[in-house]
Each structure stands twice: as structure tokens, then as C-alpha cells.
Structure 1
Amino acid sequence: MVKAQIHSNIIEAQVNCAGCSNKMVLRGAFHSQQFTVESCYKCHSAYTGKRQVSDTGAVEKFKQKFKGFSSFKKK
């Protein structure tokens, strides 16, 4: 016999991507009907093959801070 009322309700949820503003509808046992994800299949580097470097500011700051160390003369 199959037990009644043991499975979650399946709902449609609106998913918004914060990276590329893509919107999609998923069906599943979600707690909310709308939520936001950081990246999706259209903008994540694993799916697109494009690498995005987000720490260029930190790299430039490091290079600026230590740029004079290469000009020291050895004794």
C-alpha cells in the first residue's frame, strides 16, 4: 500500500540570476516560489568556457605596493 500525504508538494518557482538577469521557471519541492541564484548556465564560467577575473583590483594594488623591490642591487 502507498502511504498518503508523505511526499512534498511540487510547485513552480521563478529563478532569477544575479549575474546575467536570466529568468527561468523550475518545478520542484521548493520552500519559496521565487529565489535568486548567483550565476546560472548562461553566465557561469564552467558552462560558457570564459574565465572571469574578479580580483584585478587586488592584483594591481599588490603590484603597485611591491613594484620597487625588483630594482634592488645585490651585494
Structure 2
Amino acid sequence: MKRDIHPEYVETQVSCTCGASFTTRSTISSGTIRAEVCSECHPFYTGKQKILDTGGRVARFEARFGKAAAKK
């Protein structure tokens, strides 16, 4: 590895708009990162995610072609 060509790797404080914060390491020189979402407030991680049926595609397909018969 060549010397003096790599950026400085420092401890960085990441803070979210929900108030959660954690420490990681990064090459950002300021030492702080502000994030809009994190694992504490993102719906996927909190279990509050809503699964949307985009226009009833499955139901529309089944109505058009019917359910496939089980192969024997």
C-alpha cells in the first residue's frame, strides 16, 4: 500500500433526525454525519411498514386467466 495517499480514517458521530445517534468510522473530515432516517425510525426496521397492493395486479391476473390447476 502506498503511503500518504489515503484519506484520514477518523471516528464519526452519526445523528438521525429522530434523535438516535451512534459512532462509526469514516473518512469525512468534520467527524459528524446527519441522517434523515436510521434503523431506529425506518418503517422497515420498526415493523410499521405498510405493504401496498399496486392496483390489485394479482387479483386482476387471476380474474383474467384463472388460477392454475394443480398438476397431477
Q: One fold, TM greater than 0.5?
A: yes
Matches for 1:1-75 after TM superposition, within 5 Å: 2-18=1-17, 20-51=18-49
| Aligned-partner Cα distance in 2 for 1:4–1:29 | 16
Give a deviation string over 1:37-58, Cα, whole Å, max 9, x none: 0011111012122138xxxxxx
SS for the counterpart of 1:47 is helix
TM-score after normalising by structure 2: 0.59
* Structure 1 runs of 4+ with >3 Å offset: none
RMSD: 1.7
TM-score after normalising by structure 1: 0.57
Counterpart code for 2:4: Q
Q: Which residue number corresponds to residue 57 of structure 2?
A: none
Cα offset for 1:22? 0.4
Count matched residues.
50
| Aligned-partner Cα distance in 1 for 2:29–2:45 | 27
Structure 2 unaligned blocks of 5 or more: 51-72
- Specify which structure has the higher proportion of helix: 1
Structure 1 unaligned blocks of 5 or more: 53-75
| Aligned-partner Cα distance in 2 for 1:31–1:47 | 29
